[in-house]
A and B are shown apart, each in its own frame.
Chain A
Amino acid sequence: MSSAPSPDAGSSVPAVEMHGISKRFGDVVAVDGVDLQIGDGEFFALLGPSGCGKTTTLRMIAGLDIPSEGRLAIFGEEVASWPPDRRPVNTVFQAYALFPHMTVAQNIAFGLQMRGIRGPDADRQVAEATALVQLEGMEHRRPSQLSGGQQQRVALARALVNHPKVLLLDEPLGALDLKLRQEMQVELKALQREVGITFVFVTHDQEEALAMSDRVGVMSEGRLLQVGTPAEVYEHPANRFVADFIGRTNLLEGVTEGPAAVRLDAGAVVAAANELAVGSPAALSVRPEQVRLHRRSEAPAGAPCLDGVITDATYLGHAFVYTVAIGPTAGASGTHAGERAATITARSETGSAALAAGEPVSVSWSPEATTVVAD
């Protein structure tokens, strides 16, 4: 998977550059041939389910794991075999890993001390970092006396005080409750703009990744499947996994019938641009919010239209989510042998007239709103 160029990647040396990076633990391949460029000043999210290799990738950038294979450069310097203390990167660890036997100020000063910065200069930098994360007045507390959100800020300050060239964040918001997490998302984003440091952010939360990052890399089973802006990844997923993992989607199984059409297993041939060989199995990804529902009699002519029956309607406050059964069992006209039933999830604003379960409907979408994905 080639990475899309970032805004800065062309103009300067990339902050992080990986070529064919793999990591094996015994027989287990944790990371499998990752190629990736992260631009200077970028907010980059590595996204994937647990066990997909995203944390291992981050740890290799930090130097906590050494790659089994491949090249790894930080601002042009080949660092793959360097120990962590030589690398110009710092990490905000999952669960923070604050030193329990040190105060907040001592935690923050640790990196400076280790680099031989002491005295008034160190004090000033610690004070700046403390102010940056709004922890003034907490300097003499122990980590155990702080709330989760405050501990998170200490972890940030402890890393940022060293002015790393790249800041690595391993699920930094995972331990916070929902409301605090959302606040910290906004704050972290603002902080990144303020300090201008490249952030590499590992998360399994796709909403978090989309909301915060300039670009997202989606990983699964050790492989980097797609890299792109949140919009690119959401609207044009590279394969079935990405389509399914990022947001909710309907995956309608079928076979390609040419560069512009797919024959769905549920019947009907629909227009859908694709670059696959004719006759290859593929799935059509349609986001629920792109699906339009019509009463059967009001179906628009021309647009791809599938007949179905509403099997479930869920009220969410701001929207309805409908499940529509399409294909042979739904009693749609003109079905053929071998066609299989499918369900489509549709989402509509609450303002529109509510439809009830059992109602026969037609579903449609604009061809541009769909992506054809293979495995």
Chain B
Amino acid sequence: MPSLRRAKPAAAQSTDAGPDTPPLLTPAELAAQRRKRRTGTLIATPGALYLLIFFVVPLGLITVYSFATRTSTGRTSLSGWNLNSYERIADDVILGIIARSAWLAFLTTVLCLVVAYPFAYYLATRPPRLRARLLVLVMIPFWTNGLVRIFAIRFLLGSNGPASALSEAMGFGTFRILFTPTAVVLGMVYGFLTFMVLPLYVALERMDWRLVEAARDLYASGAKAFWRVTVPLTRSGIVAGCVLVFVPSFGSYVVPEILGGAKTLLIGSYVARQFQAARNWPLGAALSVLVIVAMLVAVAINQRNSANAERTQGVTR
């Protein structure tokens, strides 16, 4: 339908030009439009079917389960719909887990931003050919198995691992950070850094550096020009990167399972436990719905942000 809708205002305009203008579209034009629409539908069908079966349906199932009842044997009874699972989220233990997950996700996001911004800045200000090569280097970890990488970190951070040995050799003594929240944050920063680097790189690469020169010409020091011009103009990349890191960090499962200890139970692991050991599918489903809603809010923020960026672009180029 969108192509038809777009055609209408244009036609309306042409009728404005003169009251006697003949009707909107000729039969040939209409036929062409129909053909175009049919082609569009045809090429979108496989993807749409896939998403419907493997994404929309499970999501619907999860939502349904979140309103179901857990029987005393741990089976889920699809009757007696209620909000009990959602009420249980208000439990102090679960709220604690959610708060801890949010806090660690927040720390991860901030650390990623602090590490990635200078790096993306460096990337974006290199000559184009070098840029392409450096980008490949950024992508390489992406092509490696995530689980393997996290186990490598576990070895690295372990009390018998190289990091600890180095610390001891330098006279700081061994350290124990494996199975602590610190290890989880480090692992997540490592795992999600690329999600921060890429949007920042895109924003910085599009940056019009003449604006920084203009700021410098108008008495701004290098630092002031950065905060007043570069940062606001790359805001879309900053927000996108933060959303892309925060969302998976918040629901992260693999990293805290491998690097976190018993005391760093996060929501991802807790949900998994509900579906497995605890056999409480409705609670696990309700928590999943909560995470999804939080993610949707974040995505909505990101959408609004990029729409804003669009508006301030197309500027004085």
Closest residue on chain A to residue B229 by CB atoms: A99
Query: Is there a chain B Cβ closer than 8 Å to A110's Cβ?
Result: yes
- Interface pair A143/B215, CB less than 8 Å apart: no
Q: What string of 1s and 0s marks CB contacts (under 8 Å) between B222-238 and chain A? A: 10100011001100000
Shortest CB–CB separation between residue B111 and chain A, in angstroms?
A: 26
Which of the segments B261-269, B274-282, B307-315 contacts the partner chain?
B307-315
Which residue of the partner chain A has the closest CB to B218? A111
Question: Known interface pairs A64-B213, A95-B210, A101-B233. Does A144 touch B312 (Cβ–Cβ under 8 Å)?
Answer: yes
Please indicate the chain A residues that have their CB under 8 angstroms from the CB of B221 in the complex: 83, 85
Q: How many residues of chain B have a CB within 8 Å of chain A?
A: 25
Asked if A97 contacts B218 (CB within 8 A), the reply is no
- Chain A contributes a number of interface residues (CB within 8 A of B) equal to 28
CB A109 to nearest CB in B, in angstroms, measures: 10
Cβ-closest chain A residue relative to B308 = A101
Whether, in the assembled complex, A96 has its beta carbon less than 8 Å from a beta carbon of chain B, the answer is yes
Of the residues A62, A83, A98, A114, contact of B316 by C-beta under 8 Å? A98
> A residues within 8 A CB of B314?
144
- Check A158 against B216 for contact (C-beta < 8 Å): no
Chain A stretch 150-175: residues in CB contact (< 8 A) with chain B: 151, 158-159, 162
Identify which of A63, A89, A99, A162 contacts B214 (C-beta below 8 A).
A99
* CB neighbours of B315 from chain A (8 A): 98, 100, 143-144
Closest residue on chain A to residue B228 by CB atoms: A110
Cβ of A91 under 8 Å from chain B: yes
> Is B217 in the interface zone, CB < 8 Å from A?
yes
Residue of A nearest to B235 (CB): A101
Give the complex CA separation of A91 and B213 in angstroms: 10
What residues of B have a CB within 8 angstroms of the CB of A111 in the complex?
218-219
A110 to B227, CA, bound (A): 13
Interface residue? A90 (CB, 8 A): yes
The answer on a CB contact under 8 Å between B317 and A95 is yes
What is the bound-complex CA distance between A159 and B314, given in angstroms?
23
B311: A residues at CB distance < 8 A: 144
Known contacts being A64-B213, A101-B233, A114-B224, is A96 close to B218, with CB within 8 Å?
no
CB of B211 closer than 8 Å to a CB of A:
yes
B220 near A91 with CB under 8 A, answer: no
Contact in complex: A101, B219 (CB < 8 Å): no
Closest 6 CB pairs of A and B: A100-B315, A111-B218, A114-B219, A97-B214, A84-B216, A97-B210
